[in-house]
Structure formats: C-alpha cells, structure tokens
Amino acid sequence: MQNSDLKNTDNNRVFPRVDTTCPVMHRASEAERWSVGLLINFSATGMLFQSARALHVDSDINVRLERGRNKVIPALSGSGKVIRCTKIANSKYEVACKLNHIDPPETTK
C-alpha cells in the first residue's frame, strides 16, 4: 500500500480526521496548570480543540485526551506545536496543533 492509497479525497489528507468530542487537557509548559478544552477532531498527526484561552502560534503545547465515556478515542498524552488559534466567540478559541510526540501508553493516565 502506498501513501496515496491512504488519502482521504474529501480533505486531501494522508491521515483522515476523526470528528469526535472529549475533554482535552492542555498547557503551554510544565510550570502551568492544565486547562480543559473540548476536542473537535483529531488525526494521526494533530488535533483541533476549543479552548477558553488564546494560545500563541508556534508555541509548544502539552496535551492529554481524557476520553471519558467515549471509548472509541484512545486515552493519550503528548506534545506538539500550536499551528493556528482562531477566536470564535468571547473566551472561546479553536486551537489546531501538530503533534510531534506521543507518550507511551503506560504513561498516559
């Protein structure tokens, strides 16, 4: 199978997006407290979520998916970069991030 066989023709992505919701814990550094957001969608290389605060583009981010009742989503934690942050309402932002590292499953709580 070639990479071109995996492309989703709807959005020209190698890895398709999965539209689903669950809590997303996020923070910009280890010194910060975790903030809670809401997952909109994710793929093998990134995610889009809603946040109550703006995050700076190109900043590092740590994330944890807390799957709650949604057993389709794997619980995971990892890190990456913020690639887009769009204000959609007062104190509501859509944050897109590219994941650069996923922690091994045994470190995900």
* Other beta carbons within 10 Å of 35: 14
Model confidence pLDDT, tens digit, residues 45-54: 999 999 999 9
The amino acid at 35: S
**Which domain CATH number covers 39?**
2.40.10.220
Whether 43 maps to a domain, the answer reads yes
Q: Is residue 22 part of a domain?
A: yes
CA separation for the pair 103, 78 (Å, rounded):
5
Q: Record the tokens describing residue 83, joined without a space.
A: 């690639």
pLDDT digits (tens, 9 = 90+) for 15-67: 788 888 889 999 998 889 999 999 999 988 999 999 999 999 999 999 998 77
When divided into structural domains, the chain yields a total of 1
Compute the average pLDDT of residues 77-92. Answer: 96
Range of the domain at 94: 16-107
Instruction: Note whether residue 10 is domain-resident.
Output: no
Spell out a b/e string for 57-68, using b for 16 or more CB atoms within 10 Å of the CB, else e.
eeebbbbbbbee
5 falls within a domain? no
Residue 4 counted as domain residue: no
